[in-house]
Structure 1
């Protein structure tokens, strides 16, 4: 029960920290997508993260829930289908990307904002937040469902940005009971802090590991980055705080 509550709380918390007080306004539907994702939560160097935030913004460490203690999220995203506002497939309809995210606060601003610091994405680069970088991204995933036993999963990701370096993830784990939840988020661009998008999504999430909830990883994980612009973040002193596997993620996207 604690696990189900925590994952639902996580979805609600992301929505709350990403939404300030906005007046009612018309929205423009720009499409929808169906993904599967793996989200890693880290505690990393505050100064290195703040160097990627807009001027005047200070990074915050999440205080509660399954991601408590983390100040950086790395989302590995496998987009299976992207649709336009008329529900027609985009070209390309499938892509892969890795988003680097952090939450920040600023004096005079209402609440915390979630910022997209960087997106590495397979070409053609959409650069939805003005900071996309072309990358070769590969994913290999296997799942085994033996009789009378829990499912086991193995994921391998390799990200090679055109700007150099490599980001690798190898994750194997035994799954627990997932939870279905709905939420809304409004991520902001780190290069244009006045720009944000509106996401309303449903997701099936499995909390694979959480330091805050004393949930140990039933498996193994390996993460390594040699990407130059992330060198001060992944300097060997970062700590993995949580792992969230999201096999189903369905989202509607709007602009304010």
Structure 2
């Protein structure tokens, strides 16, 4: 897996040599009453220094998350010999999957005006899945 671009509030932290400065904001809510399924919302906004914006928002009805452990090798697209090893433990909740015919969203939207993403997100794309990861623990290693 390659990290092709990293948007960061501090682009001097740049191990993959492809970070750009951005203002990043996130709002997250989760609520439940009694034994009812929890409902939640997420909103993310990334604003780049060139004026581009990436935004994602969703509202969803929760489900029981699944526990998982994984290991990933994330390579730099700038220096392909450089990589980090990530060992993760996480809870993951399937919110939307077209192939599994699951849709727990009550609302969702994704948009971007970041110029380097224009060819990937031209309006013809289809959102095929959303995973919510409410708990994520990661250890990072160098080879």
- Report the TM-score when normalising by structure 2: 0.95
- 1:164 and 1:191 map into 2 onto residues whose CA distance is 24
Per-residue CA distance 1:105-144 (angstroms, 9 max, x = gap) = xxxxxxxxx1111111112541221101110011111111
SS at match of 1:193: coil
C-alpha contact (below 8 Å) 2:88/2:138 kept by paired residues: yes
1:132 equivalent in structure 2: 19
Deviation of 1:195 (Å) = 1.1
Per-residue CA distance 1:145-177 (angstroms, 9 max, x = gap) = 112310000111111011321011111101111
CA RMSD of aligned residues (A): 1.1
Q: Structure with the greater relative contact order (CA < 8 A, sep ≥ 6): 1 or 2?
A: 1
C-alpha contact (below 8 Å) 1:164/1:228 kept by paired residues: no
* Aligned residue pair count: 143
Point out where structure 1 has 5 or more consecutive residues left out of the alignment: 1-113
In the alignment, is residue 176 of structure 1 matched against residue 63 of structure 2?
yes
SS at match of 2:83: coil
Query: Residues 1-256 of structure 1 correspond to what in structure 2 (within 5 A)?
Result: 114-256=1-143
SS at match of 2:95: strand
- 2:114 and 2:79 map into 1 onto residues whose CA distance is 23
Per-residue CA distance 1:166-192 (angstroms, 9 max, x = gap) = 011111101111111111000111111
Point out where structure 2 has 5 or more consecutive residues left out of the alignment: none
C-alpha contact (below 8 Å) 2:74/2:84 kept by paired residues: yes
- 2:103 and 2:35 map into 1 onto residues whose CA distance is 22
